[in-house]
Amino acid sequence: MGFMPRLRPRTPGSASRRHTSTMAGVSRCMSRRTSSLTPRWSSSIFQWRANFTLTTASLTGGAGLAPRRTVVRVGSGSVNGDWALRDFLGFYVETGSVSIDVKPEEEEKEGVRPTFEVEVGTGSVQLRYPPVGWVVPRREYVTKIGARTGSVGGNIVHGVETDVLVGRGRGDKGRVGSGSINLAVKPVEGRWNSTLSTEGRGSTNVRVLTPVHAEGAWKGLRSSHREGVGSVNLHYPAVWEGRIKGTTQGWGSLSVRGSGVEVIKESRGEIEAVKGHGEGSELEFWVGMGSGHLFVGDD
| Confidence band for 250, pLDDT divided at 50, 70 and 90 | confident
Per DSSP, 192 falls in state S
Neighbours of 13 (CB within 10 A): 6
Statement: residue 122 has pLDDT above 60: yes
Predicted pLDDT at 27: 46
Percentage of residues of the chain with pLDDT beyond 90: 66
Neighbours of 131 (CB within 10 A): 13
Model confidence pLDDT, tens digit, residues 74-109: 999 999 999 999 999 999 999 999 999 999 999 887
**Extended beta strands in 12-68, E state:** 18-23, 26-31, 49-61
Statement: residue 175 has pLDDT above 70: no
Q: Which residues contact 148 (CB under 8 A, 6 or more apart)?
A: 1, 120, 121, 122, 167, 168, 169, 172, 175, 177, 179
Neighbours of 114 (CB within 10 A): 22
Predicted pLDDT at 17: 34
For 196, the enclosing helix (H) or strand (E) is: strand 194-200
Per DSSP, 215 falls in state -
Distance CA(72)–CA(52), nearest Å, equals 5
Distance CA(76)–CA(60), nearest Å, equals 14
Between the alpha carbon of residue 214 and those of residues 182, 186, 238, the distances in Å are 24, 12, 11
Distance CA(104)–CA(211), nearest Å, equals 16
Q: Which residues contact 100 (CB under 8 A, 6 or more apart)?
A: 61, 79, 80, 81, 82, 83, 91, 126, 127, 128, 129
Model confidence pLDDT, tens digit, residues 195-231: 999 999 999 999 999 999 888 899 999 999 999 999 9
Predicted pLDDT at 219: 95
Residue 62, SS3 per DSSP: coil
- Per-position b or e across 40-74, b if 16+ CB within 10 A of its CB: ebeeeebeebbbbbbbbbbbbbeeebbbbbbbbbb
**What is the mean predicted confidence (pLDDT) over 174-194?**
90
Contact 204, 232 (CB under 8 A): yes
**Mean pLDDT for all residues in the chain:** 83
| Cut 0.75: pTM above it | yes
